[in-house]
């Protein structure tokens, strides 16, 4: 990212001014990493590979699970800055295959739920389920659950 900053014509002058000890408004250099900061954000250059790397970590990561544009923008803005960031993120998310697959399907409303009829007596309406793959107990690993709906 440091070498890409020096190759970016948009920030080269700012870096040269800071190197000469001149003050550049709202810009500084982070001492240990030599990254350019705009206010408190790390400046990402116009190099698309750097922007894609940032978005892959802030949008595609399993920890965030492909959030919508607003949340992705908030995650990126927390640490980074570049010109036309909002449009770049919008374009990236609109091309995201996972996001397009997770969109809600707009169906006709399903209607109200109806209560089940009350059975006339016990053992008339039963449901059962198996809970499996439990740790062994007396050589058994499953539980049969039976529910009487009365």
| Nearest CA-CA partner of 50 in 14, 90, 2 | 2
Are 26 and 96 found together in one domain?
yes
Does residue 85 share a domain with residue 12?
Answer: yes
Is 25 part of any domain?
A: yes
In-domain check, residue 30: yes
Higher pLDDT, residue 100 or 145: 145
Q: Per-residue pLDDT tens for 12-70?
A: 566 666 666 666 666 666 655 566 666 666 677 677 777 888 887 777 776 666 677 78
Position 142 pLDDT exceeds 90: yes
* Percent of the residues in the chain that have a pLDDT greater than 90, as a whole number: 18
Residue 52 sits in the same domain as residue 88: yes
Assess whether pLDDT exceeds 60 at residue 6.
no
- State how many domains the chain has: 2
pLDDT at 128: 95
Among residues 77, 55, 5, 54, which one has the least CA distance to residue 34? Answer: 5
Quick one: pLDDT at residue 143? Answer: 95
> What span, in angstroms and rounded, lies between the C-alpha atoms of 42 and 30?
9
* Residues written for the chain: 150
pTM: 0.45
Residues 13 and 81 in one domain: yes
**Do 52 and 85 have their domain in common?**
yes
Specify whether 96 is located in the same domain as 121.
no
Please state, as a whole number, how many other Cβ atoms lie within 10 Å of the Cβ of residue 14: 20
Instruction: For 71-80, write each residue's pLDDT tens digit.
Output: 888 888 887 8
pLDDT score recorded for residue 147: 93
With respect to residue 111, please indicate whether it lies within any of the assigned structural domains.
no
Q: Which domain, by its residues, includes 74?
A: 2-101
d(CA 22, CA 29): 12
Q: If we measure between CA atoms, which residue out of 78, 72, 74, 80 comes closest to residue 50? A: 80
Q: Is 110 domain-assigned?
A: no
Residues 95 and 133 both lie in one domain:
no
66 in the same domain as 27: yes
Closest to 150 (Cα-Cα) out of 116, 127, 122, 115: 122
Whether residues 92 and 139 share a domain: the answer is no
Same domain, 97 and 121: no
């Amino acid at each position: 990212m440091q070498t890409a900053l020096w190759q970016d014509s948009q920030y080269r002058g700012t870096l040269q001014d800071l190197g000469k000890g001149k003050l550049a408004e709202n810009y500084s250099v982070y001492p240990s990493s030599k990254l350019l900061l705009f206010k408190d954000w790390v400046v990402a250059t116009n190099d698309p590979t750097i922007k894609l790397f940032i978005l892959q970590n802030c949008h595609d990561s399993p920890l965030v699970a492909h959030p919508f544009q607003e949340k992705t923008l908030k995650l990126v803005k927390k640490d980074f800055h570049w010109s036309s960031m909002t449009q770049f993120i919008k374009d990236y998310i609109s091309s995201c295959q996972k996001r397009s697959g997770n969109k809600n399907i707009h169906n006709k409303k399903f209607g109200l739920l109806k209560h089940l009829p009350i059975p006339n007596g016990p053992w008339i309406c039963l449901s059962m389920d198996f809970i499996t793959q439990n740790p062994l107990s007396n050589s058994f690993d499953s539980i049969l659950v039976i529910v009487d709906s009365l």
